[in-house]
Structures are given as structure tokens and as C-alpha cells.
Structure 1
């Protein structure tokens, strides 16, 4: 069967494919406290397991385990420790034949962000409302449309009586919104393939790079006294500002030094600052937190941490107080950068599949936001791309939505990619 037949079968069965997405959206699978306090993914994973079992998948359930997250953190500086992991499991569903052709993983996450501002939504966030060619609901764009499109791509091939020419694995993971622990678990459990598609929403573009990120906390000590006798004390806030100003100078140097064809320049954002107790008291302590987004390849975790450490040390040596009371630096979250060369076989297969469906070449771009692509590429060593229905602007937003046509087109593109890539 050719592309015309696949599209005809999609058109014939699209109400079923849309219904399956709506059913998944209406299951509340939100994370608690950015995953630290757990997540409600289980009911969604149970639903998907039943559906995939009906489709004839080889199923493997993989509970999230702190020991594996810790091991990855020690080896790769990836994984977020101390999250509540009870009743949270990954689901891996195999189709096709192992050891024949190429293997391909379609990766998506079951967890969604909370919808605590429910009164601001035009309709309940966990009700799949269809209006004006869009499906509204929490998790539609981020990323249940991508996850279900990967499953329905297999269903489309079954409906078309097309055989998967290699091995295909659907990997539905938990705790992505908590920093990627689900895909970390999958990798620590040995899941690998010749190619991986992270099915996050990309606004009809192919993402081949994203920024790395490191979150730092800097704690500065001062000496408290009444503000009327300020000379007897040391303002921790003023000392912190001295460090922040040096950091902004370093950020400016990065803007002049680093360039990437798909990504913005590195950036440093001080997002939180806490210190002092009253306007009449010289503050004895100040703490600020920052996030650095860096370019993959040209910069890395170890080098960046060393650069921040050196900067704080340099500022401290120039200040009599800080030299004797050095600030405390802590890294509390990090994720690597991601990039993939255009000449790789998975990229070329995707370009052919996309052109066949969309009748135009795909636009290649990069993303300032990190996702699980980095894990599959950097830890797994897999050829990795990012493409899916939905767009970044809708992620985590009120009245989140996905275009139904983009969901259906993604099903077609994934199906063609499976046939092209796995056949080699």
C-alpha cells in the first residue's frame, strides 16, 4: 500500500484515533510538586497497557527506582534524587521482530503539569473539549497527543495490514516534568534502539538540538547589625550583588564567544534572591538561585561548573570579607545539551517520511527548552530526533490545546518513518 492508502485508512478510522486521545487526556496524570511529591501517572499507564495489550504488544513494566536514578546522577549528572516513586512505572511495548531490520523507540511521557488554576479554564482541564479543530485539555500538547500518535501509528499500520519491518518500541515514561527521571530509568534498565523519536510537540518542525541547563544556588554570609551602625556590619545582599554583577559580565563574554546554528546564545538568569529581615537591619545572609542555559558541544557541565566556581573564587579574592567567608555554591539540578547531525540515517528517514506526508521539506530547528532527547542521545548513544504534534507555547498553559489535524498528520508521519527506518 502506498501513502494514498495510508491516508485513506487514516481518514476512515480517524474518529477512533481521536477518541483514544480524548480518553487519555481525560485521565488525570499530573505530577505533584514537580514530581518531588510523586505523580498520578498510574491510571494513565494502566489504560495504555490495556490498549497496547489489545494491539498485541510485548509489554514490560519498569517501576522507577531510586537506586537507578542515583546511579545515573553519579555517572552522568542526570536524574533528580529524592522524588516519591511509589506507584510510578514506565511502560515499554514492543512490536515487530527483534533482530530484523533496525530498531526504533517512540518515546513519550505520561505525566502532565497540574491545573491548579482550574477556575481560569473555559472548560474543566481534564475534559477533552473539541472546538474549532482543536482538542483542549491539560496534557494535550504536552504531550499526550505525541504519545498517543505514536501508539495510533502502530494501529494505522495494523489497520492497513502493513508489517513492521524491524522492531518498534513504544516507551511511555513517568516523571518527565520532574526533570526526566522516567527516561533515566529506561536507560538505566538497558533500553536502547538504533533510533529514538522523542514525540514532544515541535510546532511542525524537526528539533535536532536543545540547550543544556544547570541550576545553581549561591549562599552568601554577612554580619548583622542595626542599619544606623552599618559600618559595624557587612551586608550579605551587597556582597551577593557583587557576585551577580560579575556573573552578568561573564554572560556578556559568552554572547561574544559562542554561536550555534540552531540555538540562541548561552544565558544566565538570576531567578530567585532571598536575604535580610528588615530595612533597619544589615542582612547577615543572602541566597540567590540562577539557571544557566548552555550550548551543547562547545560547552559542558563540568566546564560550566568550573567556570562558575572560578568566578566566585575570583570575586572572593578581591574582597576582604568574602576571602575570609567564601560563599557556598550548590548545583541542585542539571540537564545536558542535545544535538544531532543532519546526515544521520534517522534524520534522513524522517525527512523522507515528512515530505511524503506533508508534500514539503521539514524545517529543522533547535529548542531553548530541554527535554528527554538529551538522555537518549548522551547516555544511550542513540540516534535521536524530536518531533510531535503541539507547540511549546501551549505547554503548561491555561486552556492548553492541540490541533487535531497536527495529531492526525503525526500519526501518518510516524507510520511512514517506521516503515522507512526499520526496513534498513
Structure 2
């Protein structure tokens, strides 16, 4: 460990209580993404800016030139630039300021926006996803400054809006587009998967698909006649046709494709079976009346599809549409009334190789920072299971990895909470990574 690292990590130990109180302040700001489904935009907008303003104060204490800006009122990003002395690589610390709704506050052990501390953990919405990581990054930068450590390369601190509803155009992409780029980036998403504080250098592509199937309604008692006619005269116009039955036939075909993907879709950074076609929403019934007295004449199936970042999305879409077409060909009703396939959302994947110097630097820094703690040892190196802003860094040619405090099982969960010791180790890992990557004088 260098003298610069030793001083900085010691300083972070002394900042523990202030780090926790700052995190409590951040959690108390209800920065719920205002465009998240079923939310009141006017009631919520402004929370993201409030968190950005809080972070801006700490960025300034780290010696950063600070800006707040955004493309939507009340939804500001914050950027702080700590100028290096020259001759070193630049590094970005990135995290999002928005959170998902807390749901029923009565289901929580503690008020989800109180930032309750029980001695070992801090509780509340955003404690894991991802205000702990944002605050840890800010305090890492402050500790460097307060320890008198000057980095050779620039350190760029980014708190961005919109990530929870995939609005990267308001957040990370906007920030990068304004010229706040670097030679590498660390994203503070919670990376406690199998083990805490994993290093995550890849994220899958995420594709949302909607399949709409139409049917022909009739009295529910006509089902026996419908089935008999389907057996005896499948090519005749039926007395009725269940859109739900037909939709589930399509789904069965997609389930079989999902099984095939365990063999055919692979990536060395991902475990077998991580690429899936998940049916997450079913909406079906008779348009005239959503009632069991009617045979359903409309059904929609909404899927979340995860695929390897190395595979082109058009290849995935082609394989799925071919599967749907084959299922339709085998069904007399669907042959004449083809399912409608739509793609409401796409979030491409991204990856940084394990052998990339940034990934190796962060792995070494995390191990160095955790020495002598409950988190000691080499970290796991594994991919994020879902979409993150890593995508937009790698798309811009910037190597990026995720490293952040908190268990992934706690993200978006009731009673979300993060271990305070883990937050402190994360802050130390960020500081150690900056010294290793940027160089120090």
C-alpha cells in the first residue's frame, strides 16, 4: 500500500459517522423517479435535483469544479471535476440519484425515508440502490483531498437522473454528451451478488416484448362446442376462439426456446441460464366484459428478455419472431389471425473484459481496501444481472465496471438496507482505485 493510499484510507475511517449522517440526509430526500409507472409526476419532480444539490456540496469539499444541469426541470444531474496535475489517466465515479417507489410504507419495519440506523445497517429506500454508493464515492474524493493526495489524472464525479426508468438520455448519456468523459468509469450500483462488493464488468442486453393475440368471443358455455369444432373442422370459421388459449400456446413455444438458450446463448462472463425470456405480465379477457361468462377475445403477453451483450439485438428478435411464427402455423386460429409482436423498449448490453486494465485495477483496489475487514480477499468478478448505465460508457468507448455496496436482493425490496461497514470499504475501494488508475503525487 502506498503512503497516499494509507493516508486516504485512514481518513475515511475517521469520516465514518459523517458518511452515515450524509446518507441519512440523502435517503430522506424522496427522489423517486417521477416518470416511474403509476406515479404523480408533479408531486415527485424535484427530488433528483435535491439529491444532486446535496452531492454538489460534498463534491466542492473534494476540491471539484461543480455543475448542475439537466434536460428536464427538477431533474438535474450533478458533475464535479477534480483536476489532476497532469500525466495520468482520468476516472469517472458514476451513480444515479433517483430511486424506485417505496410502495406500502406500512409494510416496512422503519419509515422508508427516515434513514434509520440500527448500529450495523442503514435502512431506507435507496440505501442500497444506490445512495450508499454515491455517498461513498463523494467521500472517497473528499478523503483524497483532505489527505493532501493530488491525482495526476482528472477525477470526474457524476450523480445522474433518470436511471430507474431507463432514461439515460436525461442522465448518463447527457452527461457524457456534454464532454464529461474519461479513460475509465466505476459505477456504484450494488454489486453484492454471490459475495459482497463484487466487481461487475458487464451487463446483458434487455429487450421488452409485447405479444398481442386476438380471439373470438362467445358465451363461456360454448367452450365445449369450440373444442369439438377445433378437432373436427379446424379450418372452418369457429363459433368462438380463446385468445388466452392461443397466447399460451405461443408462450409454450417461447419457454422451449428459453430452454434452448441455456445451450445456444453463452458468454464467458455470464453463468449458463442467465439469458431468459420472462413472461411478467398477462392481460386477457373479453373486450365486451372482463368476466368469466365470456370467452376471451384479446390477450397481451409482456416479456422481459435478457441476452448476451455480444449478440446483436436483431438476431435475438429474429429468433423470437421465427418461434412465434412457427407456433402460429401450428394453430388453426393463429394461422389466420397472426399474433402481433412489438418491442416497446430496448436497452443494449455492454461489457469490459476481465483482462482490461481498468477491471484489474478495480479488483486490486477492492482487495487492498478490504484487507483486515470482514470483506477481505479477492472479490468475485461477475456480470450485472440486469440493465445498468455501464452500457452507455462502453458504447462511448469508455471501459467501465460496477462496484458498489449492498446486496442485490435488497434493491427495490421492502426493508431495503445496507451494511455500514460495507459502505466504508466501498469508499476505500473507490479511493484506492483512483490512486492506482490516475496516479498520485
> With structure 1 as the length reference, what TM-score do the two structures score?
0.89
Matched, 1:252 2:259: yes
The equivalent residue for 2:93 is: 106
Change (3 A) 1:324 1:137: same
Write out per-residue CA displacement over residues 364-412 of structure 1, whole angstroms, 9 at most, x where no aligned residue. 12232221112211x2111110001111011112221111111111111
Distance 2:26 2:292 in 1: 52
The equivalent residue for 1:186 is: 175
Distance 1:185 1:8 in 2: 35
Distance 1:306 1:195 in 2: 34
The equivalent residue for 2:386 is: 369
The equivalent residue for 1:356 is: 368
Matched, 1:121 2:133: no
Contact 1:3 1:356 in 2 (8 A): no
Distance 1:53 1:286 in 2: 54
The equivalent residue for 1:417 is: 433
Distance 2:248 2:110 in 1: 45
Distance 1:19 1:245 in 2: 51
The equivalent residue for 2:415 is: 399
Displacement, 1:53?
Answer: 3.1
Higher alpha-carbon deviation: 105-114 or 37-46: 37-46
Displacement, 1:140?
Answer: 1.0
The equivalent residue for 2:295 is: 282
Displacement, 1:342?
Answer: 1.5
Displacement, 1:101?
Answer: 1.4
For the aligned residue pairs, the C-alpha RMSD in angstroms reads 2.1
Matched, 1:225 2:218: yes
State which of 31, 37, 53 in structure 2 corresponds to 1:46: 53
Matched, 1:390 2:406: yes
Matches within 5 A, 1:169-248: 169-181=156-168, 182-203=171-192, 204-229=197-222, 230=226, 231-248=238-255
Distance 1:312 1:272 in 2: 17
The equivalent residue for 2:140 is: 153
Distance 1:112 1:382 in 2: 25
Distance 1:119 1:421 in 2: 45
Distance 2:330 2:13 in 1: 70
Secondary structure at the residue paired with 2:117? strand
Write out per-residue CA displacement over residues 189-223 of structure 1, whole angstroms, 9 at most, x where no aligned residue. 34321101011111221112232221111111112
Write out per-residue CA displacement over residues 99-156 of structure 1, whole angstroms, 9 at most, x where no aligned residue. 6411111100101122231112222211122213111122111111100111111110
The equivalent residue for 1:77 is: none
Displacement, 1:15?
Answer: 2.2
Matched, 1:309 2:333: no
State which of 320, 337, 361 in structure 1 corresponds to 2:349: 337
Distance 1:307 1:358 in 2: 45
State which of 300, 325, 333 in structure 1 corresponds to 2:337: 325
Change (3 A) 1:224 1:154: same
Change (3 A) 1:99 1:23: same
Write out per-residue CA displacement over residues 265-290 of structure 1, whole angstroms, 9 at most, x where no aligned residue. 22111111122233332222111111
Distance 1:412 1:119 in 2: 35
Contact 2:53 2:78 in 1 (8 A): no
Contact 1:180 1:372 in 2 (8 A): no
Distance 1:423 1:250 in 2: 49
Distance 2:58 2:176 in 1: 24
Higher alpha-carbon deviation: 401-410 or 226-235: 226-235
Displacement, 1:28?
Answer: 1.8
Structure with greater Cα Rg:
2
Higher alpha-carbon deviation: 270-279 or 102-111: 270-279
Figure out how many residues of one structure are paired with residues of the other and give that number. Answer: 402
Distance 1:10 1:25 in 2: 21
Unaligned runs of 5+ in 1: 65-84
> With structure 2 as the length reference, what TM-score do the two structures score?
0.85
